[in-house]
Amino acid sequence: MGAVLRSEWIKVKTVRSTFVTLVVAFFVTVGLSALVSFFTNQNFSKLSPTERATFDPTQTSLGGVYLGQLAVIVFAVLVIGNEYSTGMIRASLAAVPQRGSLLTAKALIVLGLVLPVSLATSFVSFFLGQALLGSHKAQLSDPGVLRAVFGSAGYMTLIALFSLGVGFLLRKPVLSLGLLMPFFFLISPILSNVPKVKNVAHYFPDRAGSEMAATQANPNIPFGPGAGFVICLLWVVAALAVGLALFRRRDA
């Protein structure tokens, strides 16, 4: 496994686009979170009493995560999709015929790269956002705040692993992104507002992930941050398990 991990690390670091997506994820998330925090502070007096009572400064300062995840999704898809699009997957399987080991190595590389970037992104977004929120800010020592910041980083990491599983499932980068992008940015937000199906949409990974970055309970969501983490983790396990099953059965 050590040799397989080294080979996967070499593949990732020699393709510039993969590292660029992680840099983009950091700056997009931090930048958007700062803008949201700034304008929220400027317009706080215009919020209704109900909105003020339920205002979550921590979740506000982490609001850029849900756009920054776009770059994380692209990164994870490219980790496997580039090999299929270039035909390099044949050489990879000739060197590592144990397909389970190959998938595990790729998952560990994605985890090892996305997790520290996500942690840095979440903490920088939080501190910058709180500075811009002025008198409406929260402290890291406040109840639930530190957990929410870690939860935001955990969500980005889990989404990357979920996207990797989808990449193994669909193999082609364009097809994988063509499914993931509409799902996270169109289908899930729309279904979560449709009365007859919104209860099901609550269990989508992005909806569950939003609870991981919140310090206050959402009355419309029937679970808390801990259950949200478990739901996201189950999506990851399912995607990787199905991806591995098809990876083992298909030809390169």
DSSP summary character for residue 196: T
Residues 6+ apart with CB under 8 A from 207: 188, 192, 201, 221
Residue 100 per-residue DSSP state: H
Instruction: Give the tens place of pLDDT for each residue, 178-235.
Output: 999 988 888 888 888 787 788 888 899 988 888 888 887 777 788 888 999 999 999 9
Would you state the structure tokens that stand for residue 193, as one six-digit string? 């507002």
What is the domain range of residue 102? 2-249
The CA distance from 221 to 109, in Å, is 33
What pLDDT, in 10s, does the model give residues 28-84? Answer: 999 999 999 999 888 888 888 877 877 889 988 998 988 889 999 999 999 998 888
How do residues 96-142 score in pLDDT, each as one tens digit?
A: 889 899 999 999 999 999 999 999 999 999 999 999 988 888 888 88
3-state secondary structure of 43: coil
CB atoms within 10 A of CB 187: 14
| Token pair listed for 229 | 């983490």
Tokens found for residue 64: 């850029």
Domain count, the chain: 1
